[in-house]
């Protein structure tokens, strides 16, 4: 059995050896076919920037240079393109082509993954798409249609797309690779305001794993001894450059083949004679897998004699950055065994033009220092400087340096504009700006900070000609920062803001006594920014921002203008403003009268009244008067006019008067000579009637506290006709000028002496007393009871008028009695009466018809006392009541009693007389 076993093992040995060899061979093949992940760069790129409302236009360029790696890394190198809303929604997009032509040994594709990371400035995106294609862009396959968010994602999304397309090595690798294609697009949904909004791509690339028979080297070589070289004039350059690579070095190259040559092994030589100077060259080395590395050095050629010359320490310092248009120093230390004959500097500008400078010895920099001043032109870029020195022995030496010039001046923002800075929620404002730069403006934009702290970037033009619209969907303060940058990266900014308020449906009522309209304009408080404007009349309603505004009211062909300041819309809703202008029935020498009826609360108002439509003799004599209580529709001053000319500015060029006021009522323009009294001729007398008045008066007439000592000559009052009298008064001043006025007053027919206080009145009647005290009283049916006539209202007005030079304090006591003598109201008060009319109102409701007596007692100057009794009939008066009142008024009851008594006596006497005679006759007959 043992022999059989050994024999069997010997028979199996060759088979085992063959199996082992087979396994080793397969293992070697598998090791050589390890999947590879080559460096796949984006070699082609195109974009969409809102140029079409249809996808696939691809008419814009990408932000970064390609071939390049900007889209391979999760960093800050972005591709940013714009969607746009302009009526329709427009597309933004990015399309790439990825290849690696250096890979020539791809056997098969193992896996294809596509990685992306993108986001949008706004959420209003639709028709989003990320797709890939292996068929030269003819048949894209969609990876996702989900739209991105509005902030940068935390992670990169990578999708296995191996099964989506028929990927081959020729799609990505080799000199004839067609390219792996990918695209991404999104469209604005067309809602909201017009605008331009950013779409950003940070990562967008293919990651391909493939199999090959040998794994390639992707690591570039590395220089081990690359350095600047110095040699003397006429000396031959021989510099052996070394480099290391993990596989094999292929060859070295030099860029300046006119002066230098280099072997594939790295020996650098000069191929022509080199003069004294500095020569910059670029050395490149490749390995057998086409990986390369490059480095720059300079070759400095110096004088070859021992009594030579040397230039060193050249300035500006190499690779320094300086500002254009600035003054700098170009210099170097120069040493020589012989006398130095000249030191020159050649400056090569960014545009390759050259400029020659002569350097002079400057002991402030040291014994060997040579320098000169230089002003950098307004050209941005690199400036090469070569300093060359010569000595009297004919030797020379050079030293090279360079610096970079930049623009240090920021742009100038010359204009920013917010079309509105006070808005209601939902209203739009426009943003625009204008910026300039000394070298070239770059771009302009604005950052808008919402009331809740979120920010929005709004792209703007820099020429100020166009603007972008900003929607407002929340109340509060919107901060705006305008930015402008230039091509050197300098930035300027300017700030602004606007306020957004809740909406209010504001009702306002405008009235004119005659026909026409009022032009109402509402301004931002303390500002000329118009919030609302319309020419209208009657009842109006407008949706406005709920805030405080200034109101300007203009009418009568713009000849009356009033600007009411600080009107709070929330508290002043549903109020009215009325105006009137008239030339008819003017009083007190007025040329025109304006009446104003205002219900709005305001801080103060500026009023402008034009007088260009008036006829006057001397513009300097025009004065402005104010009535504090003016009846707009009755066109009557109820208080008296007072001169406000001293608080008024007269503009003779524009022909207008301007003043500030805190109240409105009536305004009158009059013409008076400087020495003429501005008011009335002497006031009417006590107890107007048919009796004659004084025919002349010499007194000090006052108005507004200004005395005018003049003599008025007045005619007698006319007869009382229809309740009115008039007389003509004339004043002649020192210069002989005449002022004629016609005075009018109300009157009643003369009553018998002593009967004045007993005079009854019906309806509205007036009784004027000696001390300028008037009672007006009338009775009207109470509203709602007109048909029944059972309830009435008694209205009483007390007027006190002071014509004296000083205010008078008056104590008033009022009592109302019914016809039976019962007291139904009693009140006492004190009033300080200025030099104009003072009034007090009383109103008693729920009274029955009948006669009532109003008794007013006034005490002034502490000793003078006046008592006035006013009777008024409330409701219709019957026949018997009227008869009884007339009998009582004229004491007819006494006459009737007397007559009756006389008749009784006469009857008695007659009876006695005739009875006695009849008795006597009877006796005689009996006799």
| Residue 925 counted as domain residue | no
Over 80: is that where the pLDDT of 762 sits?
Answer: no
| Residue 9 counted as domain residue | no
pLDDT at 408: 86
Mean pLDDT across the stretch 701-720? 49
CB atoms under 10 Å from CB of 648, counted, come to 17
pTM equals 0.42
Per-residue confidence at 107, pLDDT binned at 50, 70, 90?
confident
Among 472, 501, 530, give the residue marking a domain's end: 501
The values of phi and psi at residue 392, to 5°, are: -70, -15
pLDDT at 799: 73
Task: Say yes or no: 95 and 200 in one domain.
Answer: yes
Beta strands per DSSP E along 13-56: 41-49
pLDDT at 711: 45
524-567: per-residue pLDDT in tens? 999 899 999 999 999 999 999 999 999 999 999 999 999 999 99
Over 60: is that where the pLDDT of 703 sits?
Answer: no
pLDDT at 265: 92
Q: How far apart are CA 478 and CA 471, in angstroms?
A: 11
341-392: per-residue pLDDT in tens? 999 999 999 999 999 999 999 998 899 999 999 999 988 899 999 999 999 8
Beta strands per DSSP E along 303-440: 309-315, 320-323, 327-336, 340-348, 354-358, 360-361, 369-375, 381-391, 396-406, 412-418, 422-424, 429-436
| Residue 752 counted as domain residue | no
449-478: per-residue pLDDT in tens? 999 998 888 989 998 877 788 889 999 999
Per-residue confidence at 486, pLDDT binned at 50, 70, 90?
confident
Q: 10-14, 422-426, 706-710, 727-731: lowest mean pLDDT where?
A: 706-710
pLDDT at 788: 47
Q: Would you say 705 and 759 are in contact if contact means Cβ atoms under 8 Å apart?
A: no
Q: 460-474, 689-703, 713-727, 827-841: lowest mean pLDDT where?
A: 689-703
Over 50: is that where the pLDDT of 677 sits?
Answer: no
Task: Say yes or no: 80 and 53 in one domain.
Answer: yes
Q: What is the CATH number of the domain that holds 428?
A: 2.60.40.10
pLDDT at 863: 65
Provide the 8-state DSSP code for 449.
E
Of the candidates 707, 714, 704, which has an alpha carbon nearest to the alpha carbon of residue 742? 714
Q: What is the CATH number of the domain that holds 790?
A: 2.60.40.3880
Task: Say yes or no: 93 and 54 in one domain.
Answer: yes
pLDDT at 6: 40
Q: Which residue range(s) make up the domain with 290? A: 222-301
Mean pLDDT across the stretch 611-634? 92
Per-residue confidence at 438, pLDDT binned at 50, 70, 90?
confident
pLDDT at 784: 52
Q: Would you say 648 and 658 are in contact if contact means Cβ atoms under 8 Å apart?
A: yes
Mean pLDDT of the chain: 81
Q: Helix and strand tally (H, E) in the chain?
A: 4, 63
36-92: per-residue pLDDT in tens? 455 588 999 999 998 888 899 998 999 999 998 899 888 889 999 999 888 788 999
Task: Say yes or no: 82 and 193 in one domain.
Answer: yes
| Residue 687 counted as domain residue | no
Task: Say yes or no: 448 and 345 in one domain.
Answer: no
Decide: residue 80, CB within 10 A, 0-12 exposed, 13-18 middle, 19+ buried. middle
Q: How far apart are CA 206 and CA 130, in angstroms?
A: 13
pLDDT at 743: 66
What contacts 186, CB < 8 A, 6 or more positions away?
Answer: 83, 91, 92, 93, 120, 125, 126, 127, 128, 129, 147, 148, 199
| Residue 924 counted as domain residue | no
111-167: per-residue pLDDT in tens? 999 999 999 999 999 999 999 999 888 899 999 999 999 999 999 999 999 999 999
Q: How far apart are CA 872 and CA 817, in angstroms?
A: 11
Over 90: is that where the pLDDT of 31 sits?
Answer: no
Task: Say yes or no: 883 and 873 in one domain.
Answer: no
Among 682, 715, 746, give the residue marking a domain's end: 746
Task: Say yes or no: 529 and 565 in one domain.
Answer: yes
Q: Would you say 798 and 774 are in contact if contact means Cβ atoms under 8 Å apart?
A: yes
- Tally the domains of the chain: 8
Over 70: is that where the pLDDT of 621 sits?
Answer: yes
Q: How far apart are CA 910 and CA 711, in angstroms?
A: 70
Q: Virtual CA dihedral for 173, 176, 177, 181, nearest 10 degrees? A: 160
Q: How far apart are CA 852 and CA 814, in angstroms?
A: 13
Q: What is the CATH number of the domain that holds 584?
A: 2.60.220
Task: Say yes or no: 514 and 634 in one domain.
Answer: yes
Distance of CA 214 to the CA centre of its chain: 70
Task: Say yes or no: 401 and 507 in one domain.
Answer: no
Q: How far apart are CA 760 and CA 885, in angstroms?
A: 9
Task: Say yes or no: 595 and 732 in one domain.
Answer: no
Distance from first CA to last CA of the chain, Å, rounded?
A: 228
The pair of structure tokens assigned to 858 is 């006034």
The values of phi and psi at residue 701, to 5°, are: -85, 130
pLDDT at 214: 57
Task: Say yes or no: 567 and 445 in one domain.
Answer: no
Over 70: is that where the pLDDT of 686 sits?
Answer: no
| Residue carrying structure tokens 């300080």 | 832
| Residue 22 counted as domain residue | no
Q: How far apart are CA 28 and CA 682, in angstroms?
A: 136
Pairing of strands 141-144, 125-133: antiparallel
Q: Would you say 388 and 344 are in contact if contact means Cβ atoms under 8 Å apart?
A: yes
The pair of structure tokens assigned to 377 is 């032109």
Q: How far apart are CA 312 and CA 315, in angstroms?
A: 9
- Percentage of the chain beyond pLDDT 90 is 46
Task: Say yes or no: 56 and 168 in one domain.
Answer: yes
Q: Would you say 196 and 69 are in contact if contact means Cβ atoms under 8 Å apart?
A: no
722-754: per-residue pLDDT in tens? 777 777 766 554 445 555 666 666 666 554 444
């Amino acid at each position: 059995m043992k022999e059989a076993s050994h024999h069997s093992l010997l028979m199996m040995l060759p088979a085992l050896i063959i199996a082992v060899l087979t396994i080793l061979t397969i293992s070697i093949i598998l090791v050589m076919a390890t999947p590879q992940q080559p460096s796949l760069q984006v070699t082609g790129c195109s974009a969409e920037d809102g140029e079409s409302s249809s996808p696939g236009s691809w008419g814009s360029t990408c932000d970064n240079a390609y071939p390049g790696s900007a889209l391979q890394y999760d960093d800050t190198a972005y591709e940013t393109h714009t969607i746009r809303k302009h009526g329709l929604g427009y597309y933004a997009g990015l399309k790439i082509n990825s290849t690696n032509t250096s890979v020539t040994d791809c056997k098969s594709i193992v896996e294809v993954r596509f990685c992306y990371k993108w986001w949008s400035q706004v959420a209003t995106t639709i028709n989003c798409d990320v797709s890939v294609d292996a068929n030269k862009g003819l048949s894209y396959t969609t990876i996702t249609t989900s739209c991105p968010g509005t902030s940068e994602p935390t992670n990169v999304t990578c999708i296995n797309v191996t099964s989506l397309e028929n990927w081959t090595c020729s799609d990505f690798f080799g000199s004839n690779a067609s390219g792996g294609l990918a695209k991404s697009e999104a469209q604005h949904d067309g809602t909201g305001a017009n605008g331009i909004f950013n779409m950003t791509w940070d990562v967008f690339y293919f990651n391909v794993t493939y199999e090959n028979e040998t794994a390639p080297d992707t690591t570039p070589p590395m220089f081990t001894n690359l350095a600047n070289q110095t040699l003397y004039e006429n000396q031959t350059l021989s510099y052996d450059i070394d480099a290391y690579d993990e596989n094999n070095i292929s060859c070295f190259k030099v860029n300046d083949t006119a002066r230098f040559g280099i072997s594939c092994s790295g020996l650098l030589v000069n191929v022509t004679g080199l003069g004294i100077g500095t020569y910059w060259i670029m050395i490149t080395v490749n390995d057998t897998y086409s990986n390369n590395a490059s480095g720059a050095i300079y070759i400095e050629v110096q004088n070859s004699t021992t009594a030579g010359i040397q230039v060193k320490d050249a300035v500006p310092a190499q690779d320094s950055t300086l500002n254009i248009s600035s003054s700098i120093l170009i210099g170097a230390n120069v040493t020589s065994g012989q006398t130095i004959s000249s030191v020159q500097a050649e400056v090569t500008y960014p545009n390759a033009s050259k400029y020659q400078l002569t350097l002079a010895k400057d002991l402030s920099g040291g014994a060997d220092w040579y320098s000169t001043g230089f002003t950098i032109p307004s050209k941005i870029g690199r400036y090469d400087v070569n300093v060359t020195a010569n000595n009297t022995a004919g030797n020379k030496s050079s030293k090279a340096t360079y610096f970079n010039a930049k623009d240090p001046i920021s742009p100038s923002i010359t204009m920013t504009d917010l079309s509105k800075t006070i808005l209601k929620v939902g209203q739009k404002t426009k943003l625009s700006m204008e910026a300039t730069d000394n070298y070239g403006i770059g771009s302009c934009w604005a950052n808008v900070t919402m009331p809740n702290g979120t920010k929005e970037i709004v792209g703007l033009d820099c020429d100020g000609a166009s603007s972008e619209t900003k929607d407002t969907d929340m109340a509060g303060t919107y901060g705006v920062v305008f930015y402008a940058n230039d091509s050197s990266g300098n930035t300027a900014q300017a700030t602004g803001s606007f306020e957004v308020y809740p909406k209010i449906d504001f009702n306002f009522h405008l009235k004119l006594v005659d026909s026409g309209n009022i032009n109402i304009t509402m301004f931002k408080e303390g500002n000329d920014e118009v919030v609302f404007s319309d020419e209208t009349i009657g009842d109006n309603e407008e949706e406005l921002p709920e805030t405080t505004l200034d109101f300007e009211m203009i009418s009568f062909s713009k000849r009356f203008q009033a600007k009411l300041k600080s009107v709070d819309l929330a508290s002043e809703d549903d109020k009215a403003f009325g105006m009137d202008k008239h030339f008819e029935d003017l009083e007190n020498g007025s040329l025109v009268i304006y009446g104003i009826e205002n219900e709005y609360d305001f801080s103060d108002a500026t009023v402008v009244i034009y007088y260009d439509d008036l006829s006057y003799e001397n513009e300097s004599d025009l004065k402005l008067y104010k009535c504090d209580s003016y009846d707009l529709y009755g066109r009557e001053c109820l208080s008296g006019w007072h001169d406000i000319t001293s608080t008024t500015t007269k503009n003779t060029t524009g022909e207008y008067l301007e003043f500030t006021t805190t109240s409105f009522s009536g305004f009158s323009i009059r013409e008076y000579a400087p020495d003429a009294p501005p008011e009335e001729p002497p006031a009417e007398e006590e107890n107007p009637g048919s009796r004659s008045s004084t025919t002349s008066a010499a007194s000090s007439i006052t108005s507004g506290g200004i005395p005018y000592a003049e003599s008025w000559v007045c005619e007698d009052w006319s007869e009382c006709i229809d309740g009115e009298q008039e007389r003509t008064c004339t004043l002649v001043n020192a210069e002989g000028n005449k002022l004629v006025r016609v005075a009018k007053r109300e009157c009643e027919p003369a009553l018998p002496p002593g009967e004045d206080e007993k005079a009854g009145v019906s309806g509205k009647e007036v009784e004027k007393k000696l001390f300028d005290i008037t009672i007006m009283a009338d009775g009207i049916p109470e509203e709602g009871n007109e048909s029944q006539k059972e309830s009435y209202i008694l209205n009483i007005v007390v007027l006190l008028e002071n014509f004296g030079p000083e205010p008078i304090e008056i104590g008033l006591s009022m009592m109302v009695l019914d016809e039976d003598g019962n007291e139904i109201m009693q009140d006492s008060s004190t009033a300080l009466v200025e030099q104009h009319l003072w009034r007090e109102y009383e109103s008693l409701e729920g009274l029955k018809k009948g006669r009532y007596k109003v008794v007013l007692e006034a005490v002034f100057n502490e000793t003078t006392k006046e008592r006035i009794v006013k009777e008024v009939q409330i409701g219709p008066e019957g026949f018997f009541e009227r008869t009884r009142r007339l009998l009582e008024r004229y004491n007819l009851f006494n006459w009737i009693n007397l007559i009756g008594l006389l008749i009784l006596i006469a009857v008695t006497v007659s009876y006695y007389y005739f009875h006695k005679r009849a008795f006597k006759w009877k006796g005689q007959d009996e006799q």
